[in-house]
Structure formats: C-alpha cells, structure tokens
Amino acid sequence: MKNLNSKRVISIVLIFSVIAFFSSYIIYQIVASGNAKMETEFALKETVYEAIDTQCFVVRDEKFINNDAKGTTVSFVTNGERVAAGDTVSVVFDSIEDASSFLQIQELKKEIEHYEYVSGQANVQTLNIDSLTKKINSELTDYLKSVDGGDYKKAIDKSELFRDSVIGKQIATGTQLDFDDKLESLKKDLDDLQSENYSYTEIKAGEAGYFISGSDGYENLIKYSDVDNLTNADVEKALKAKPSEVSSSTVGRTVSSFNWYIVCLVDTDKTVDLSKDKAIFVNFPSAGIEKLPVSIHKIGNRDADKTLLILSCDEMNESLSEFRIEDVQIITEEYSGFKISNSSIRTVDGEKGVYIVRGNLMGFRKIHVLYSTDTFSIVDNPENSSDYIRLYDNVVTEGVDLYDNKLV
C-alpha cells in the first residue's frame, strides 16, 4: 500500500513539473514576443517608373548608298554621324596594304597635331592649378564611366582629353617636356608613307542625313512613308520577319528625316493614360540606354487586346543607329519620393504612417503614398510638414507594441 501511494505522489509531482515547464516556456515566448528585436531602415529618396515591356520595330527614312568598287573599305564617318550631300563616307582601296598605310597616315597626322598642341602650352603655367586638377579628375571620371558603360569609342576620346590635361599640368608645375625629337620622328614617318601611291575609290553620300554603314536587311520591310497606315498585323509580321538578302554593292545608308519611329504593340489596358503627342521616355535595356525622350506619334484603335503604339524620336547616335528589332521599356509614369518597406506602414487613428526612432524615442509620422508594389511603397511629404516622414528618418520595419513616445 505504501509503495502504491509513493508511486502516486511521484506521478503527481512529475505531472506538475511538466505543466510548470510548459507554462514557463509559454510565458517566456510571450515575454520574448513582447520584446522582439526591432528592425529599422532609413527613408531615402528614390525614383521608380511604371513601364510597359514590349518588343518594337524601328523605322527610319533610309536611302541606300551603293557602289560596285571592290577592295578593302575604310569608313570616314561613324554610324549616326551627320553628313552632307557629297561628303565622302568611305574609301575603297585596291589592297589591304594600301588601306593599312592610309590608316597609318591618318593616325600619324592625329599624333602630330596632338604633340604640336602640347608643345605650344608653354604659357599654360598661367592657368589655375586647382582648376586644372578638377578638370583632370572630371575627365578621368568620364573615361571610367565610358569604360563601365561599354562605350569604348567614347572612352578613347575621353582618355586623350585626360592625357592632354595631365601633360598641361606637368608643364604648369615646371616639368620640362621636349617633344621636338618625337615630332621629327612622326613627320619623317608621315613623309615616307605619303610618298607612296595609293589606288582607291571614294564613296560619297547622295544626300544629307545620318550615316549608317552596311545594311541589316530590314530597310524595306516597313516603309517610312507608310508608318501612319500600319495595322497590328503589319507590326506582328515585321517583328517575326527574317532579314532579306543584302546586295554586295550596298555600302551604307543615309537617314534623311530627323524623326524616326519606334513601332510596337502593347496591352490595351496599359494605354489608358497615354495620349497623342504626350512626351514620355523609353529604355533600351540591352544597349544600356535609359530615359530616351520620345513623343507619342500615334495610338491605334483600342478595340482589341493589343493596341498599336508609334513613338517618335529625333535623337541619333551610334548606338541608336543600330536598332531594329529591340526589347523596349515604355515609361508611362515616374514617381519620386521616399522608398519604404510595406511592412513599416501602419494605420493610427485613421491615418496611414510609419513609426520612426529618433534618439531613444519612438514617434509616428504620416505618409502620402504615391506608388506601391507588393514589397515597397514610394511616399512623400506633400507640404513639407513636421507631421510627415522626412529624409533620413529611421523607419521601424519590424517590431511589436509600437506607440508614440515609446522609450526604445
């Protein structure tokens, strides 16, 4: 009987111990939850865009430059460069050796011009050294940006400006530089090359416009004069088309009209806020081109799932001259404000806002929501009021038991 009572006592003790353990654990979790780690982020300015992603076909007013000359072609102008009627756009040499010698002559002339320029900077020491240093730093930054952006032609130009400025500073700070021997050597090499006879054919632009070398085989797919009469089916066909065979006599093209067109099809429900002649921007992600200014030339009938959209642009450069069938982002709206996580937004007394930490006190700040996604919102302070969120506010994104004037 004693043993039985002892076992019952032990069982009761064990049961109460287990209950006490779980009760303590639950109480600990409640306390821990009430003191959960608080996370914050700074309110920083950011700009985001609403954009339509689609594929486009580029239409230009292109005229072919043809020539049957055989040999090695050397271009005189870069793609996207403006030429006048009668300008020489390229030269065809009978042999690779002649073409190589010609290019060496052009390079030597450029080098001679450079060294004659820096040799004449004897009075550069009158320049402000601080201004010259700033110029050097700026040119170095431009060079690095060009390299990072993959624009190596521009990078070469920027590197030459940087080089000249560095030489100028060397002269200005008393460094003695003598370029006479270098100039004499370059001029001798030039004389030797120019004494030879070269056989070549000059190819000239038939009319004024932007020059583009060669052909991509899509020039006649959509005629420039037919842009205003395009249908959805025309655009679909162009986007799926294969390039036609290019004639061996085609040297390049001139784009006569200043305006060129970006033709595409977009979801009809995304055209609600678009109107003819509205100025907007587009991005070409594959070429690293952002916010290219365009205007809406035409919006098709909004009677189907897809609507024809034609954008007009009057800018031209080497990258733009190569476009034909491209992925494009059409920016329809732009929002600038403070980017905050949606987890930080709370409603207090009917007002949307966030809790911020300043010093060791928590405070509530109102927000005006401009734009939202699933994860973040762009908000602003519409009247620069002290009741609203401000730049660099330390916004609470995670935490519980939040209230105004709480000590943290």
Question: Does residue 267 share a domain with residue 175?
Answer: no
User: What's the total number of domains in the chain?
Assistant: 4
Question: Does residue 323 share a domain with residue 238?
Answer: yes
Question: Does residue 355 share a domain with residue 286?
Answer: no
Question: Does residue 215 share a domain with residue 309?
Answer: yes
What does the pLDDT read at residue 385?
Answer: 86
pLDDT, one tens digit per residue, over 199-212 is 888 999 999 999 99
User: Any idea of the CA torsion for 145, 146, 149, 151, to the nearest 10 degrees?
Assistant: 180
DSSP state of 163: H
pLDDT, one tens digit per residue, over 303-329 is 999 999 999 999 999 999 999 999 999
Residue 82 lies in a domain: no
Average pLDDT over residues 274-285: 95
Can you give the C-alpha Rg of the chain in angstroms?
A: 35
pLDDT at 352 over 70: yes
CATH number of the domain within which 376 lies: 2.40.420.20
Question: Does residue 211 share a domain with residue 99?
Answer: no
Residue 221 lies in a domain: yes
What does the pLDDT read at residue 399?
Answer: 85
Whether the Cβ atoms of residue 105 and residue 197 lie closer than 8 Å to each other? no
Among 198, 232, 264, identify where a domain stops: 198
Parent domain of 234:
51-65+206-336
User: pLDDT-based confidence at 25, cuts 50/70/90?
Assistant: very low
Mean pLDDT is lowest, of 30-39, 218-227, 295-304, for 30-39
User: pLDDT-based confidence at 295, cuts 50/70/90?
Assistant: very high
Among 198, 217, 235, identify where a domain stops: 198
pLDDT, one tens digit per residue, over 367-381 is 999 999 999 999 999
Mean pLDDT is lowest, of 6-15, 165-174, 355-364, for 6-15
- Number of helices (H) and strands (E) in the chain: give both, helices first: 7, 20
Strand partners for 340: 377
What does the pLDDT read at residue 397?
Answer: 93
Among 176, 198, 220, identify where a domain stops: 198
Question: Does residue 329 share a domain with residue 266?
Answer: yes
What does the pLDDT read at residue 116?
Answer: 80
Mean of all residue pLDDT scores within the chain = 86
The dihedral sign for the CA sequence 354, 358, 362, 366:
negative
Instruction: For residues 102 and 94, give the distance between their C-alpha atoms in angstroms, rounded to a whole number.
Output: 12
Residue 147 lies in a domain: yes
User: pLDDT-based confidence at 145, cuts 50/70/90?
Assistant: confident
Q: What percent of the chain has pLDDT over 90?
A: 53
pTM score over 0.75: no
Label residue 349 exposed, middle or buried (CB < 10 Å: 0-12, 13-18, 19+). Answer: exposed
Question: Does residue 365 share a domain with residue 323?
Answer: no
Residue 403 lies in a domain: no
Residue 186 lies in a domain: yes
Question: Does residue 116 share a domain with residue 175?
Answer: yes
What does the pLDDT read at residue 330?
Answer: 97
Residue 272 lies in a domain: yes
Q: Is 136 left (phi over 0), alpha (psi -120 to 50) or beta?
A: alpha
Residue 163 lies in a domain: yes
What does the pLDDT read at residue 225?
Answer: 95
What does the pLDDT read at residue 179?
Answer: 74
Residue 141 lies in a domain: yes
What does the pLDDT read at residue 29?
Answer: 46
Q: What percent of the chain has pLDDT over 70?
A: 87
Question: Does residue 311 share a domain with residue 297?
Answer: yes
Question: Does residue 238 share a domain with residue 317?
Answer: yes
Question: Does residue 321 share a domain with residue 213?
Answer: yes
Mean pLDDT is lowest, of 60-69, 110-119, 165-174, for 165-174
Whether the Cβ atoms of residue 380 and residue 370 lie closer than 8 Å to each other? yes
pLDDT at 292 over 60: yes
Question: Does residue 304 share a domain with residue 279?
Answer: yes
